[in-house]
Structure 1
Amino acid sequence: MANFKGHALPAVFFIIFGLWWCLKYSLKYHSRRLNKNGPGNHWFSRIEITEGAVKIIFSVIGMLAEQFVPDGPHLYLYSGDPHTWMKLMNWQHTTMYLFFCISGIMDVLTYTSFQVPIGLDRLMLSVALFVEGFLFYFHVMSRPLLDQLIHSLLLIAIFGAAASVLLETFLRDNIVLELLRSSLALLQGTWLFQIGFVLFPPWGGPAWDANDHGNIMFLIMCFCWHYALAIVILAMNYAVAYRVVQKCCTNKGGTEIKLAKRKENEKSSRIALLKGSDED
């Protein structure tokens, strides 16, 4: 959708998944490092299935929103009278959501079926991100320079995330790659909001002047600030996950010590009773 809402919807999608990924992978990494007897792969597999289902739901909502908004194509690709294509921008966004839906389906199949090789979930997510970048690359051809610039900056985050996830296909459970993907997902989300504010100000004001060089310089600098914000959010989630896992390990360790002492006391009491019986 060529409006602010059309950019806000995928922005929310990427921000939610970016926050979730950085928290999930931080918890997974710290739980394996600090708690060797912690929850195994089965627990995290259930999370992956749930995540895939949520991805499918979000993608379906996105496709329906692109098609059935009042000014949407309503599943018509070509109009016979006059002979024109119908809302191709909406169709491009629908295609992007379609591949993320396929990625969600692959997530569910990977962790519910032994017939699907591990790694195809990451590969399909990489393909979905690549398709998103491919569509955006040709999305802004012949547009004003400012419009091309802000979408070109978005391509850095998209193709960076696609490359990172492709490496995850072969380097499974690599916390550095997982956090990189999380930060780039956050960057995509916040920058999509920025694009919406620049091109379609929600308060109804005019779009930014495409011929003002100062606007171009500011947006390049602003893109770096967005990534700095993503890194700060990532670091906060990482620290919170560490504290949570550390606290859980401490509480579990204390409980195990108390149980061991209780068993030892019960054993001592039984021995004392047996000795007393023998003396009698």
Structure 2
Amino acid sequence: MGKFNGHLYPGLYLFSYGLYQATVVFKAIIVNDSLLCPSCPFKNKGMWARLWGISYGGWVKVVTGSILTVYVVICLDDGMVLMNRKQLSRFMYPKEWQHLTMFILLTLNGCVDVTSKNLLRQRCVILEKGTLLLIYCVLLMLLVSHVQGSTGVEQRVHSLLIVVVFQLMLVLAVELWAPNAFLLSLIETFLFLMMGSWLMQAGFILYRPVTGYPWQDDDVRDIVFVTVFFCWHVMINALCLLGIYGISSFWHRCYSPSLKMTGSKEAPYHASPEGPVYKLLPKVERSEKDEQVPLLPESSP
């Protein structure tokens, strides 16, 4: 699991989660909705309203973390052995145990999200954000120990990943005081995309190079191009966010019924001339009375 698949599958999940989170954030920005409590389009619809309130992101974390945990256990022939039976003082499979710890934390994070959103009487956002922050603090420590003993290309690849995880940890810490900030959520989404895409790239760099030739640790040019590829990932993910925003904006402006309904309701409100009409009506009535009063004595003889 510590080889190619250990980088590809978690990276694919993180990148997919970043894409989903980007659509959620951009929808809230375009519709001017809340990130924490999005409005439900199915009001008083019973089953549809309950389905809308399900924590799909939490369940995806639970299922993905459980599958990856089982995969780590069964991918080893001897199983997840902590110590060697012949040499009790020797720990076995340190990197696999690190991956197992990461995936168990992902499963626990999903359980917290489901509990907070669907089981508690009132959603506790601080609990969700605090758990996610704690998980990435542990992930940062695991990654720092993961690069022990590595040199050259592998050390540079994981060092750049550590930079992304550290920045994400800082953003999650600030979100404890501002959980509904759009800018912080956008930065968090971008960092999730960076983690996912760079993990997949790390699998190809370290274990399955596209060119078919392995990267050389003693070649300075290979180490330099690792950083160059990381910078390309920064630009590509930024363009990906820009494209998602354009597609989301076009979709919600043209095909979203909620925006059309709100637009049709707001248009007559702004163009409503109720104020001036109510001020003019008493004047019209008084003028009619004034015209009728002098006519009565003339017609009486």
Pick aligned residue for 2:86 from 71, 81, 86: 81
The 5 Å alignment of 1:30-109 reads 30-32=30-32, 39-40=39-40, 46=52, 49-69=55-75, 71=76, 74-83=79-88, 84-109=90-115
Query: Residues 34-63 of structure 1: CA distance to partner in whole angstroms, max 9, x if unpaired?
Result: 9xxx82599799467111011111111111
Query: More deviation in 17-26 or 105-114?
Result: 105-114
Give the distance between the partners of 1:184 and 1:29, measured in 2 at CA: 19
Query: Residues 69-117 of structure 1: CA distance to partner in whole angstroms, max 9, x if unpaired?
Result: 1x35523212212433221211100101111111111111111203663
For normalisation by structure 2, the TM-score amounts to: 0.76
**1:254/1:122 Cα in 2 relative to 1: closer, same or farther (>3 Å)?**
closer
For normalisation by structure 1, the TM-score amounts to: 0.82
Return 5+ residue gaps in structure 1 as ranges.
Answer: 258-280
RMSD: 2.9
Work out whether residues 55 and 104 of structure 1, in 8 Å CA contact, stay in contact via their aligned partners in 2: yes
The 5 Å alignment of 1:218-229 reads 218-229=225-236
The 5 Å alignment of 1:1-12 reads 1-12=1-12
Q: After TM superposition, give the deviation of residue 176 of structure 1 in Å.
A: 0.9
Q: Which has the higher helix share?
A: 1
Return 5+ residue gaps in structure 2 as ranges.
Answer: 44-48, 267-301
Work out whether residues 120 and 169 of structure 1, in 8 Å CA contact, stay in contact via their aligned partners in 2: no
Structure 2 residue matching 1:171: 3-state secondary structure: coil
Give the distance between the partners of 1:47 and 1:182, measured in 2 at CA: 22
Larger Rg: 2
Equivalent in the alignment of 2:215: 208
Q: AA paired with 2:140? A: G
**1:27/1:173 Cα in 2 relative to 1: closer, same or farther (>3 Å)?**
same
**1:244/1:153 Cα in 2 relative to 1: closer, same or farther (>3 Å)?**
same
Give the distance between the partners of 1:175 and 1:87, measured in 2 at CA: 41
Equivalent in the alignment of 1:251: 260
Deviation >6 Å, runs of 4+: 41-45
Work out whether residues 61 and 106 of structure 2, in 8 Å CA contact, stay in contact via their aligned partners in 1: yes
Give the distance between the partners of 1:5 and 1:101, measured in 2 at CA: 19
